[in-house]
Structure 1
Amino acid sequence: MQLPVFPLPVFLLPEGVTRLRIFEPRYKKLVSIATKEDGFALTIYKPDAEFEVSEWAAWVNIVDFFEEEGMLHIDVQAKSLVKLSNVYFDEDNLRFAKCEPKEHWAQASSNENHIALADKLEEIFSLHPDIKNLYPAPQFDNPNWVCARYLELLPLSMEQKEVFVDQYSFDKAQNFLHTIMLG
């Protein structure tokens, strides 16, 4: 499948939601394409890479939008991860890429680490209504969902976060998060 690509310094995993501000004409075009077709690929901006994109992206759908003072605000939700290849620019300098499914974590079972992390994440959501409002149906009982939201929110470098994109990195992610969040 061919998708428009939006490179940003944003890390998003499956089921993650973020709000984007759209003002450049090429990205308004991306939004138009995404609403008529099958979403777009949100990838990490890499200034030193060819086409300034990562090798992977979150395949996102627009779930909400509003316009304020001439700027379009869109909420996007990741439905899965994809591998990017054959990236190119169109005549409007908008990137497109061939996107193929990329496996992420298998569904994990709840354990003591998950329960402790979920309790702490619930507390964080209650203290930050702007984050809580993006998730009308939070999945605190889902270990994958909890770990993914932490990785999106924590102030780690993109390189540190990308380690957890690997299909088999869930246990490593959960142990890492338990250590830094709960000691």
Structure 2
Amino acid sequence: MATLHIPLLFQKRHILPTGRMQLYLSTITDATTLKIILSSKTGIGICMFSDKKNQQRLCHIGTRVTVEDFNHEPNKQRIKLNIYGEDLFKIAKIEQGEHNVIWGNCQQLPLWPQRELTLEQQLLSTRLQLMFNKHPDLHKLHHQQEFHNLSWLCQRWLEILPVPTQEKQTLLNRPDCLYACDYLMSMIQTHH
């Protein structure tokens, strides 16, 4: 797998491969970072961090994203970026560059292979479709929907549900979506 040298952003919100998200950055405090992000040809890394009481922790698995679109909001002094998740990576080394921009040397991780749904797993698809219908902004972000693909479904659920960050990291470190599917099925069946 390829090695990447990319700028990193640490976020509480999560985006995974084939996912879409809107990200807001300040035109005042993040001006240099914005220039680097918008000029990057290889994309940027969005990394999760855990923010439990007095125990901020950076996670080693992140998602390389590309900027699909951006919009300057002058009244709010911020830029809205529409980003798309390309692939996962594991951080090997972090360094701080000029103007406090954080860079990572990262090892690209393989994507989860696509999987057809079993009858039992259809629950993940049905519930996600209901969620998309209830939240039109979420539905609009994901104009290419793969409700028949278990890998795509698991990644969307991991973005939406309040799964502890460390558990997400463990699930993402697996070679396929089956562990995530079992975890998510037990969550959905328990809470609904």
Give the TM-score taking structure 2 as reference length.
0.84
Where 1:141 maps in the other structure, the secondary structure is coil
**Partner in structure 2 of residue 112 of structure 1:** 119
* Range 77-86 or range 20-29, more displaced: 20-29
**Partner in structure 1 of residue 48 of structure 2:** 44
**Partner in structure 2 of residue 91 of structure 1:** 98
Q: Which runs of 5+ in 2 are unaligned?
A: none
**Partner in structure 2 of residue 152 of structure 1:** 159
Q: Which runs of 5+ in 1 are unaligned?
A: none
Distance 1:65 1:114, change over 3 A: farther
Identity across matched positions, percent: 20
> Do structure 1's residue 138 and structure 2's residue 145 form an aligned pair?
yes
Q: 1:33 touches 1:39 (CA, 8 Å); kept in 2?
A: no
**Partner in structure 1 of residue 32 of structure 2:** 29
Q: Tell me how far apart the structure 1 counterparts of residues 156 and 31 of structure 2 sit (CA, whole Å).
A: 27
Moved over 3 A (4+): 24-28, 46-49
Report the aligned-residue RMSD.
Answer: 2.0
Q: Tell me how far apart the structure 2 counterparts of residues 137 and 124 of structure 1 sit (CA, whole Å).
A: 16
Given residue 32 of structure 2, which amino acid in structure 1 is its aligned partner? K
Distance 1:113 1:168, change over 3 A: farther
Q: 1:13 touches 1:81 (CA, 8 Å); kept in 2?
A: yes
Q: Tell me how far apart the structure 2 counterparts of residues 108 and 115 of structure 1 sit (CA, whole Å).
A: 12
Higher-strand-fraction structure: 2
Distance 1:162 1:44, change over 3 A: same
Q: 1:82 touches 1:99 (CA, 8 Å); kept in 2?
A: yes
**Partner in structure 1 of residue 185 of structure 2:** 178
Aligned residue pairs, count:
181
Where 2:163 maps in the other structure, the secondary structure is coil
Distance 1:40 1:72, change over 3 A: same
Give the TM-score taking structure 1 as reference length.
0.88
